[in-house]
Amino acid sequence: MKAEDSCKIEMAVKLDERSASVFQLLYAPLIGQSAAQLYQLLCALSNARRPITNHRLICKLSEMSIERIEKERQVLERFLLLKTFLDPKNNEYLYRIELPKNGNAFLRHEVFGRLYLRQFGKDAYEYAKLYFASDQADTQTFVELTAPFSLDDPQWLQSPSEAFISLRPTKEVDHTDTLDFDFGKFLKGFERRFPYPLQTQENLSLIAELATVHGLDEMEMRKLVNQCINPRTKVFNSELLKKKARAKSKIKESGWDDPYQAAPIQFFKNLQPNIPISASDSRLIESLLVDYHLPKEVVNVLIEHVLKRSNQSFGRTYVEKVAGTWARLGIDTLEKAKEQAEKEMTAARSYVKTKKELPDWYAQTEDDNVADIDDQVIADLQQKLNEKMERSEQTNKEVR
């Protein structure tokens, strides 16, 4: 990345007072001053009447080198505050700013909440929990959440994972969640085998996505994860987990009230019941969740759409082209996916190659007045042509 590279900044919703408080109290202490400064600067530039065209102004206002900006940008991406896209053809970057999670969701987050508790301690965590307590929480729940803790309390003798599960606030309905996976159930009692250093956002996301695409529950995923951790080195093998998840993939024959809520592998199987799923198709479907971060119902609509458009073919190039387009368009719900699929089908039906119409004179049938040519005239012309060709051959022989 260079300072002169083109860039655009998008932010669908402005940072309100509540979101700003979440950012300052929860995110900023974890991401560091430089990343926080870059986030606030990008938010400000996204609202400018005259949009920026490259990275030079960002470098100047932040007083950071382009290399430092790229490093801090990646920090924001890891904390889900920024999405970055690149148009390789024009070498143009697109930065899509994401709002911080609400305070309650942040504190419940399996990675962010644990990291905050681990880095700043229970007092800071308790204060944040009170500060961002839901207005709808009843009095009984509120008192229970803010009850004082004793350092001698047995729960503080537990592992950080169990303590976190006990401490985190009551879950609120978060409509941004797209994966139906209970991390509390998955992690409880599993922290010795799957310790905190392995519980990164990347690993947890992968586990949830694989469970979703292959129709596996939390306890089944625990068994598979357990088999993918080297007992001696404590290294987690994510590629091995992918292979084991594919091998254990559950293809249920029973119907669903809403077929789009089925695991994508199962959905694909239902559309082609008499055809076995190849390993390449399984990996391709898996990548739609893991690499393109599309919700499972969106993936299912995409599968159905591609098979209809390509005469039941499921080619990687076309699938990835559609997935990339939908990801850039922010297709993240079942309704949006169906609407986009219908738009593309309508556009395809309306695209008809029109034949070139012949000019009007082509079909003209009127007789032209063509003068008759005498046969003798044609014979004389032919004779002259023959004589000319003979003279030319004679000249060529003399030259040789």
CATH number of the domain residue 90 falls in: 1.10.10
Give the chain's domain count.
Answer: 4
Assess whether 225 and 276 both reside in one domain. Answer: no
Residue 306 located in a structural domain: yes
Assess whether 194 and 225 both reside in one domain. Answer: yes
Residue 113 located in a structural domain: yes
Task: Give the C-alpha separation, 70 to 97, whole Å.
Answer: 15
Residue 197 located in a structural domain: yes
Task: Give the C-alpha separation, 103 to 101, whole Å.
Answer: 6
In terms of average pLDDT, the best of 62-66, 126-130, 304-308 is: 304-308
Assess whether 265 and 335 both reside in one domain. Answer: yes
Assess whether 61 and 142 both reside in one domain. Answer: no
Q: Among 15-24, 152-161, 355-364, whose mean pLDDT is lowest? A: 152-161
The alpha carbon dihedral of 44, 50, 55, 56 has a sign of negative
Q: Among 29-33, 90-94, 201-205, 368-372, whose mean pLDDT is lowest? A: 368-372
Residue 368 located in a structural domain: no
Residue 400 located in a structural domain: no
CA-wise closest residue to 263 among 300, 225, 308, 208: 300
Task: Give the C-alpha separation, 205 to 211, whole Å.
Answer: 10
Assess whether 214 and 276 both reside in one domain. Answer: no
Burial (Cβ within 10 Å: 0-12, 13-18, ≥19) of residue 134: middle
Assess whether 56 and 121 both reside in one domain. Answer: no
Of 97, 117, 145, the residue at which a domain comes to its end is 97
Amino acid at 66: I
Assess whether 306 and 284 both reside in one domain. Answer: yes
Residue-range definition of the domain harbouring residue 265: 259-350
Residues 182-202: tens digit of each pLDDT? 888 888 888 888 888 888 888
Token reading at 243:
């292979």
Assess whether 108 and 89 both reside in one domain. Answer: no
CA-wise closest residue to 21 among 155, 142, 128: 128
Token reading at 170:
């009551």
Residue 202 located in a structural domain: yes
Assess whether 139 and 154 both reside in one domain. Answer: yes
**pTM given for the model:** 0.39
Of 325, 350, 375, the residue at which a domain comes to its end is 350
Residues 364-379: tens digit of each pLDDT? 544 444 445 566 667 7
8 A C-beta contact, residue 172 and residue 135 = no
Assess whether 279 and 345 both reside in one domain. Answer: yes
Q: Among 133-142, 272-281, 383-392, whose mean pLDDT is lowest? A: 133-142
pLDDT at 162: 54
Of 74, 97, 120, the residue at which a domain comes to its end is 97
Task: Give the C-alpha separation, 312 to 323, whole Å.
Answer: 17
